[in-house]
Amino acid sequence: MATRQYDLGSAELSVLKTLWDGGPGTVREVLAHLHERGRRVAYTTVQTLLTRLEHKGFVRSDKSGQAFVYTARVSRSRVTRARLKAMLQQLYDGAAGPLVLQLVRSETLTPEELGELQKLIDELGGES
């Protein structure tokens, strides 16, 4: 899939996140997960979004049982990488450093995340 094909609307992304987090599910199960997360959408809306995601190649469906069961075909990390690359290109002409610096300066990181970041910096510094 080309990077452009990873363009997803926020509603489509919410449905895909539900499949990533909860695993395969029926329309009703995806709807329940969305409601648990505070997204109030209709059954038919979820059904339409899953159909749209299937046409785009992000999910697949299996009708071997009573209802269609939808499964994510594309991993979260793959979508994340593609979307980050597109954002890097748009905002920073492909340079990752300014984006990382902006994130570290403007977002609050947990002590665990800071430790992980420091470990990565140390590892990368040792490679030179």
Domains of the chain, start order: 3-72 (1.10.10.10), 98-128 (no CATH)
- Least Cα distance to 19 among 69, 64, 90 occurs for 69
Read off the pLDDT of residues 30-63 as tens digits, 9 standing for 90 and up: 999 999 999 999 999 999 999 999 999 999 999 8
What pLDDT was estimated at residue 30? Answer: 97
Q: What is the mean pLDDT of residues 110-117?
A: 93
| Neighbouring residues of 69: CB distance < 8 A, sequence distance ≥ 6 | 24, 25, 26, 61, 62, 63
What pLDDT was estimated at residue 1? Answer: 43
What pLDDT was estimated at residue 22? Answer: 95
Q: What number of helices (H) and strands (E) belong to the chain?
A: 6, 2
Predicted TM-score (pTM) above 0.85: no
- Look at residue 73 and give its three-state secondary structure: coil
Under the banding of pLDDT at 50, 70 and 90, the label for residue 6 is low
What pLDDT was estimated at residue 2? Answer: 43
Query: What's the CA gap between 69 and 90, in Å, rounded?
Result: 36
The two beta strands, 59-62 and 69-72, are antiparallel
Query: Which of the residue ranges 1-10, 50-59, 60-69, 113-122 would you say has the lowest mean pLDDT?
Result: 1-10
Query: Any idea what DSSP says for residue 44?
Result: H
Residue 39 burial class via C-beta count within 10 angstroms: exposed 0-12, middle 13-18, buried 19 and up: middle
